[in-house]
Amino acid sequence: MPSSSNHKKYMTQALEEAQEALDSGEFPVGCVLVYQGDVVAKGHRMNSRDGVNELDHAEIVTLRNLLASHPGINAAEIEVYSTMEPCLMCLSTLVLSGIRTIVFGYEDVMGGSSKLDLSKLAPLYVDMDVTIISGVLRDECLKLFQEFFKNPDNEYWRDSLLAEYTLAQETTKKG
């Protein structure tokens, strides 16, 4: 398991992906996949401006990039770093792909799935041992989501619980 400083190092790279998404008008979720200390895939949210595409989440895009560039990699040794808590679709996809460590920065109060108790689900999930670490570089992630929701050109989730919650948050760092 990587140290706290490594979590920050890899989350910083996920933040770079999120910034790239934000700069192109997309919802600022960035993701990197780390294997034995090396970033082996990265990606960010795509097609959120289209309004109806809920398939191109950062984790899914990044996993596709991994499978294209590293077929056969041992997924159990991969750590996921995402600027936002994975939704149910992304968590399920990551877990079913064999990934067992997920680290995220900002909580998704509307659709996050990290508190899901896998042991209460169907037999396929019951014995999966998944480690989830939250709040890594949360303030930095929060700032990107606030910037997104403050921009009047961004329609994605504009009047949602997530937007309202995010805009009401204050960072813990002053100055």
Catalytic residues: 59
DSSP codes, the chain: ---HHHHHHHHHHHHHHHHHHHHTTS---EEEEEETTEEEEEEE--S-TTSS--S--HHHHHHHHHHHHSTT--GGGEEEEEEE--BHHHHHHHHHTT--EEEEEE--TTTB-TT--GGGS-HHHHT---EEE--TTHHHHHHHHHHHHH-TT--TTTTSHHHHHHHH---SS--
